[in-house]
Structure 1
Amino acid sequence: MFALTPVVRVLLIINVLVFFVTNESVIQQFGLHSFLSDEFNPIQLLTHMFLHGGFGHIFSNMIGLIVFGPMLERFWGPRRFTFFYFFCGLGAAFLFSGINYFEMSQVYEAVRDYRNDPTPENFVGFFTQHGGSLYDQLAGFIDRFDAQPTNPQLIDGSLQIVNRYYTDQISQPMVGASGAIFGVIMGFGLLFPNTQLFLLFPPIPVKAKYLVIFYGAYELYTGIYRSQTDNVAHFAHIGGMLFAFILIKYWGSQRKTFY
């Protein structure tokens, strides 16, 4: 069905094999943690690209790889395609981690402010701004705290909840080859912009360049206006596309340089 090229085949096999041996312990050890987490290890910048959180996750990524990857590998050759794939994946990881560092630093500042003034109003304000998805779960505690704002047990409990929320946020690993795959999609769109692709949903033909524009605009929008219940690493997708664009434009300006 698909004429797989050598590097694409190897990447596919490795991802599938790793998927079948992946468990929660493996994800915690080799998924990409926040730079602020004690569990962060530089090797995770690479290893997270071979881990996936479920069948749907790996299926969508591998479909992207086997649909768009072979043409790029034939065009560039195995060495340049391999470099491109990992360049996009690592670039995506750095962009995601940089934005995550900025966001989690803001959460840490809010945690520190709450520690200095643990009141029911500030507790509600903290979770309204940073953890709205947990607000309903905390409704009972908030009612008790609001009724007894000077109760030392409730104050201590609120501090534990806020501290645990921050720890949970920075300990949540990011996994998946999506950054590299979105780089591959961007590369395909740049090099073969007028290639007709037939979508499944909706079942219509579309040129590759328009698909890339749609993906980029969608990921940018959802990344900026991401809901608190959205656990998709949109900025990793954007990072993969951005670094693909940069590298292809650089290669285009260095036509006398070959691998």
Structure 2
Amino acid sequence: MIPISDDNPTLRTPVMTYLLLGTLGFVWVFIQGAGFQVEALATSICNLGMVPGELTGRAPLGQAVPLGDGYACVVDAEAINRATPLTSMFLHGGWGHLLGNVLFFWVFGNNIEDSMGRLRFLVFYLLCGLVAAAAHVAVDPTSPVPTVGASGAIAGVLGAYLVLYPRVRVNMLFIFFIIIRVIPIPAWGVLLWWFVLQLITGLPQLMTLRPEVSGGVAVWAHIGGFVAGMALIKLFVNPRYTSQRTLWRHRMHPDHP
């Protein structure tokens, strides 16, 4: 099932959500070559992606990780490595990776921005992304594999949404062979199911001698970001904005939660 919208209008134009989405698109097209320029994609992932072992100094210098098409990422000690927890959250590994993140952010991000204001939302988003990066490094501090994606920061948005709007209906696209349906489901069901899937995928990593990224997905970054969003939302939320949203929603839709 895929989220396509929610029954949760905003009172203010989500300018920061649009700017972040635009930044992700800009980086993907003009820095990563939109996935069509293999060298640009490999270079961006290697140089600007986050390598846990480079941050901790526990991956051997010179160790190479194949990236496909004859390219490899080599562990180094460049100064840029210290900035990669931030730069990596604006990069993606492919069109599917990008579009999946954009879709979730499009559905859930505007309401969280609307609840706290634009500048607070930017700080919240980046902080959740950094916590997500820290969680990924903590799980596998020796990994030489570069990690990219906005998933950790967006997971923080999902965690915040669960706290603020658990009963709001999310319209989920259900596709089963020739059956296509849009099914409204409470946000708490959608988001808790998503989080449980991350845990099911991530827990086996803690039981192995070398917990590599599961299926190429840094699930502990998702888990860390989600928990950070739940924990931080009350510090960032603007009570005046949320009370305005609640009053307006009850006036316009008295039967909605």
| TM-score of the superposed pair, with normalisation by structure 1 | 0.67
Residue 61 of structure 1 corresponds to: 101
CA contact (8 A) 2:88 2:147 kept: yes
Residue 239 of structure 1 corresponds to: 224
CA contact (8 A) 1:198 1:205 kept: yes
CA distance in 1, matches of 2:76, 2:16: 31
CA distance in 2, matches of 1:189, 1:246: 11
Larger-gyration structure (1/2): 1
Of 163, 166, 172, the match for 1:193: 166
Residue 200 of structure 2 corresponds to: 221
1:28 equivalenced with 2:46 (yes/no)? yes
Q: CA deviation at 1:60?
A: 0.6
1:204 equivalenced with 2:189 (yes/no)? no
1:201 match: secondary structure: strand
Number of residue pairs matched? 188
CA distance in 2, matches of 1:24, 1:77: 36
CA distance in 2, matches of 1:200, 1:255: 32
CA distance in 2, matches of 1:90, 1:248: 15
Residue 156 of structure 2 corresponds to: 183
Of 96, 99, 107, the match for 2:139: 99
Q: Give the structure with the larger strand fraction.
A: 2
Which sits farther off after the overlay, 193-202 or 243-252? 243-252
Q: Deviations over 1:1-49 (max 9, x none)?
A: 9986111111111111111121101110000002334436110010000
Of 152, 171, 178, the match for 2:144: 171
Q: Give the structure with the larger helix fraction.
A: 1
- The aligned amino acid for 1:32 is M
CA contact (8 A) 1:51 1:176 kept: yes
| Structure 1 stretches of at least 4 aligned residues deviating more than 4 Å after TM superposition | 1-4, 226-229, 249-252
Q: CA deviation at 1:255?
A: 7.1
Q: Deviations over 1:100-157 (max 9, x none)?
A: 11xx4xxxxxxxxxxxxxxxxxxxxxxxxxxxxxxxxxxxxxxxxxxxxxxxxxxxxx
Q: Which aligned pairs between 1:47-196 and structure 2 lie closer than 5 A?
A: 47-101=87-141, 104=142, 170-196=143-169
Q: Deviations over 1:191-217 (max 9, x none)?
A: 111100111136422111121211111
1:199 match: secondary structure: strand
CA distance in 1, matches of 2:136, 2:106: 25
Gaps of 5+ in 1: 105-169
| TM-score of the superposed pair, with normalisation by structure 2 | 0.67
CA contact (8 A) 1:29 1:39 kept: no
CA distance in 1, matches of 2:171, 2:234: 27
Gaps of 5+ in 2: 33-40, 60-74, 176-181, 206-210, 241-257
Q: CA deviation at 1:171?
A: 2.6
Q: CA deviation at 1:249?
A: 4.3
- The aligned amino acid for 2:231 is I
- The aligned amino acid for 2:223 is I
- The aligned amino acid for 2:152 is G
Of 8, 11, 15, the match for 2:20: 11
Residue 248 of structure 1 corresponds to: 233
